[in-house]
Amino acid sequence: MLVLPTHLTASARRVAAAAVDRGLDVVQCEARDVLDATAPGTAPRHLHAPPSYVDPAAGPLGVAPLEAPADWLATLPVDLTRRAIRCVPIREAHALRVPVFVKSPNDKSIPARVYADGTRLPGPDAVDPATLVLVSDVVAYVSEVRLHVLDGEVHAASQYAQDGRPHLEPATGEVLRYARDLLAAVATTIPSAIVVDVGTDPDGGWSVIEANAAWASGCYASDPQRVLDVVLRSAGPAEALATSDRAFVRPAPGR
């Protein structure tokens, strides 16, 4: 069974249609209603939804949503990121007085964009000062590609931007060769199902942009059936969780 919110993006509709074609039960409901909506039957539950939905729904459904560690991007060597990145409490970021790119590690609570300086970030009246954010140098990407990763290999891939503008087409060739080497280098640091975005800078070098939870990520021009494979693993029954994935389960709210 694949559980989704009542309002779907175009990408989520493609994934839901792929699930129907595969014979899965697809249920759309409000997060507060997941137990009632999924009560009939004993099919394993999976989620495809944003963090604001998954956080209240995962526990009642017995789902273990996987994600990269909050500081994952900041722990990568510079030869993989081609920029300086830190994971710090937002109170430290408030003190910055230069333009920086700032984002939340695993959700969208802090909008991902370039801030003129730290004073432009949400203040302590809006965000807990201990909230972690990723702070990086500002980089302009020429090409941006989404990799849906399953068991350490690219399972689906799609370009989604060119020169900062939307540009959708299947990814092939050079990026897949780069991704193979990248995933071999980071295999033990990510869950078995994850999304990794990569891109080229004006010098033509490939680097890691960020990691995203597959259960909350769009598929762009990728085959939705292959994306569904990754989604199902990324947010499936906790009782079926592989030992190697236990360290990557998203903490329950308040923990």
* Mean pLDDT across the chain: 94
Using the 8-state DSSP alphabet, how is residue 174 labeled?
Answer: H
Rounded to whole angstroms, the Cα distance separating 160 from 117 reads 28
**Which pLDDT score is estimated for 254?**
66
Residue 71 reports pLDDT greater than 90: yes
Contacting residues for 187 by C-beta, under 8 A, at least 6 apart: 152
Tens-place pLDDT, residues 166-198: 999 999 889 999 999 999 999 999 999 999 999
Residue 94, number of CB atoms within 10 A of its CB: 18
> Average of pLDDT values for 231-247?
97
Q: Is the dihedral of CA 221, 222, 228, 233 positive or negative?
A: negative
Structure tokens given for 68:
């990269």
**Which pLDDT score is estimated for 25?**
95
Residues facing 196 on adjacent strands: 147, 211
Residue 28 reports pLDDT greater than 90: yes
Residue 110 · residue 133 · CB < 8 Å:
yes
Residue 29 reports pLDDT greater than 90: yes
Band of residue 255 on the pLDDT scale cut at 50, 70, 90: low
> Average of pLDDT values for 202-231?
96
Rounded to whole angstroms, the Cα distance separating 226 from 193 reads 12
**Which pLDDT score is estimated for 146?**
98
Residue 235 reports pLDDT greater than 90: yes
Is pLDDT larger for residue 193 or for residue 43? 193
Structure tokens given for 87:
């994971």
**Amino acid making up residue 131:** T
Residue 42 reports pLDDT greater than 90: no
Tens-place pLDDT, residues 80-106: 999 999 999 999 999 999 999 999 998
pTM above 0.85, yes or no: yes
Structure tokens given for 31:
């997060």
> Average of pLDDT values for 113-120?
93
**Which pLDDT score is estimated for 106?**
86
User: In terms of C-beta distances under 8 Å and separation of at least 24 residues, what long-range contacts does 127-130 make, across chains too?
Assistant: 127/90, 128/90, 129/89, 129/90, 129/91, 130/89, 130/90, 130/91
Residue 43 reports pLDDT greater than 80: yes
Residue 212 · residue 152 · CB < 8 Å:
no
> Average of pLDDT values for 195-224?
95
**Which pLDDT score is estimated for 109?**
85
| % pLDDT > 90, the chain | 88
CA nearest neighbour of 217 among 12, 1, 2, 71: 12
> Average of pLDDT values for 112-122?
93
**Which pLDDT score is estimated for 107?**
83
Q: Provide the CB-side half-sphere exposure for 80 (13 A, CA).
A: 20
List of E strands, the chain: 2-4, 26-28, 46-47, 63-65, 85-89, 100-103, 113-115, 132-136, 143-150, 153-162, 165-170, 193-200, 206-212, 235-237
Rounded to whole angstroms, the Cα distance separating 193 from 15 reads 16
Rounded to whole angstroms, the Cα distance separating 214 from 12 reads 12
